[in-house]
Amino acid sequence: MVNRIFELCSNKKIFLDRELLAFFSDIEFEKVEKILDVLTQVVGERIITKKIFDLHHDKFKDIIDTKKAIKDKEQRVKILKSYNFRSKKIEVSDFINHFRSRFESIKEILEKKNLINLSSIRRIGANSGIYTIIAIIKDKRITKNKNLLIEIEDLTGNSFVLVNRENKELFKIANKLLLDDIVAFKVSGTSRMLFVNDIVFPDSFLEKERYGNADEFVAFCGDFHIGSKMFLEKNLMKFIDWINGEVGDTRQKIIAKKVKYLFLTGDNVDGVSHYPGQEKFLNIKSCRGQYKKFEEILEKIRKDIQIIICPGQHDVVWLGEPQLAIGEKWACGLHKMENIHLVSNPAFVEIADGFKILMYHGASINHFINEIPDIRIGIGHKNPTQVVKEILKRRHLAPTHGLMDYVPNGEKDPLVIDIVPDIIATADQHRAEISCYNNILLISSSCWQSITPFEEKVGNIPDPCKVPLFNLKTREIKIIDFSDDEIKWKEGDNLICKLGDKNV
């Protein structure tokens, strides 16, 4: 299609700007011919831009309904949840209501599992028997006999449950419990002391994987860290050139053309004053300057790609989760771009064919790694999506109070995963990885920043410049690698693209 448009323009001795070319490539060629016939008569310019086209769009309303086309594009992204709140004085009652609401939400999920003899701590009382109780973890410790003693609480009272070390499988599961996790315990005994026979997590599960009708790709990026001296601008620009169809071999260009959505999952800029001495690692030292650069880069992306952006810990928003969408005060240009959707962190977004995507930057991932011994000693920071499985099991993005900042919400805890997504997109760990859990796709995006002193200190070695791509129709997944002079598929495909000198 694009080649036919090029040929047509060459015959008419005109040039189109990138935005108009992208717009035309989505409509029938015969209509493009008619529009260009009209345009070349009324416009004396050799270079015809989308702005010129928009100025004259009344002349084409019989050929194409441009307003409808723009509306269609808007309808491609539905923001199901993006949080907003007014700042107010936070009181103790807000935290109490927040936890009560969280307990009720997760209890409701657990109750759907047809738990046998479901009871409450007060109802059990001194009556010895076999029960299931839903409770929050208040504390846990290893006893003298090396058993695990867990203090629990529900809305009716407190109790203790004991996990015997001889039950090795169960002990391993119990050992992974975090403070403030909400789970169901299958127990026997009285409410003074209950012995655990099984632990049921709320868990996330989809009946089947979703397949769409549209042969379109979704690209997942994050952690640009613009403003940092370690920002890998040259590599990012190579990605932008690729997504615009300007570099790559024939097949890579075909795939690039099919990318219709780009998710940017936070840490878009490096920010300022995030840690002592950050200034010496910045080459853009103001937040507005960093967002200006961010806007300039996104402006280069073709306009038929919908870009969905949430903040991360380095963006200029309050650290407590949910973090509000990046404000106009800092990035007014982003608010004016019609293909950009600014959402909170976390956010819930629906795209083509009903694909529901939970975006979460992932500040809690480090806490899961630190708090779960099996993960800390085992995979550490190497496999971020394995950690995200722990999030999905708990149906909560950051369960433990005190480990990270959050904004209490007495009506509904926004960090509860009350709808199971088709895809959960995270970032923060600076490593691209894809895995699947109960028909849910887990995508961790890479970064565009080389290793920082902090990452070196905590032993998190980043894997920058990789972009996971997901096809909505076939569920084909690829990771494309922009870390080197040539564009490579990270795995599963031998296609290698040699770039021309100007792009290297």
Q: Which residues bind Fe ion (CB under 5 A)?
A: 223, 267
Question: Exposed, middle or buried by CB within 10 Å (0-12, 13-18, 19+), for 373?
Answer: exposed
Q: Which is nearer to Fe ion, 267 or 295 (CB)?
A: 267
Cβ proximity to Fe ion: between 223 and 413 the closer is: 223
* CA distance to 261, 307, 433, per residue, from 488 (Å): 21, 23, 16
Q: How far apart are CB 424 and Fe ion at their closest, in Å?
A: 17
Least distance (Å) from Fe ion to the CB of residue 225?
Answer: 6
Minimum distance of Fe ion from residue 356's CB (angstroms)? 25
What does the alpha-carbon distance between residue 362 and residue 220 come to, in Å, rounded to a whole number?
Answer: 14
Query: Smallest gap, in angstroms, from Cβ of residue 480 to Fe ion?
Result: 20
Q: Which is nearer to Fe ion, 363 or 487 (CB)?
A: 363
User: Which of 227/408 has CB closer to Fe ion?
Assistant: 227
Of 177, 195, 178, give the one whose Cα is nearest residue 186.
195
d(CA 439, CA 249): 33
Residue 436 CB, nearest approach to Fe ion (Å): 24
Q: How far is the C-alpha of 75 from the C-alpha of 351, rounded, in Å?
A: 8
- In the sheet that holds 347-350, the strands lie side by side as 78-82, 347-350, 356-360, 423-426, 440-444, 433-437
CA 467, CA 465: separation in Å to the nearest integer?
7
Q: Which residue is nearest to Fe ion (CB)?
A: 267
Amino acid identity of residue 82, one-letter, is: S
**Could you tell me whether strands 182-190 and 306-310 are parallel, antiparallel, or unpaired per DSSP bridges?**
unpaired
Contact 194, 162 (CB under 8 A): yes
Q: Which is nearer to Fe ion, 205 or 454 (CB)?
A: 454
Question: What are the structure tokens assigned to 37, written together?
Answer: 């016939």
Residues contacting residue 78 through CB under 8 Å, at least 6 positions apart? 349, 350, 351
Distance CA 242, CA 489 (A): 13
- Return the number of the residue (64 or 269) whose C-beta is nearest Fe ion: 269
Considering beta carbons, is residue 167 or 283 the nearer one to Fe ion? Answer: 283
CB 269 to Fe ion: min, Å = 10
CA distance 459 to 363: 16
Identity of the residue, 228 or 252, whose beta carbon is nearer to Fe ion in the bound complex: 228
Q: Are 248 and 242 in contact (CB under 8 A)?
A: yes
* Dist. CA 280–CA 453, nearest whole Å: 12
State the nearest-atom distance from the C-beta of 403 to Fe ion, in Å. Answer: 18
Contact in structure between 31 and 5 (CB atoms under 8 Å): no
Q: Which residue has the tokens 């199971």?
A: 420
Q: Which is nearer to Fe ion, 27 or 451 (CB)?
A: 451
- The residue (of 147 and 429) whose beta carbon lies closer to Fe ion is 429
- Least gap, CB of 485 to Fe ion (angstroms): 25
Give the pair of three-digit tokens for residue 393.
Answer: 């099991």
307 forms beta bridges with: 262, 340
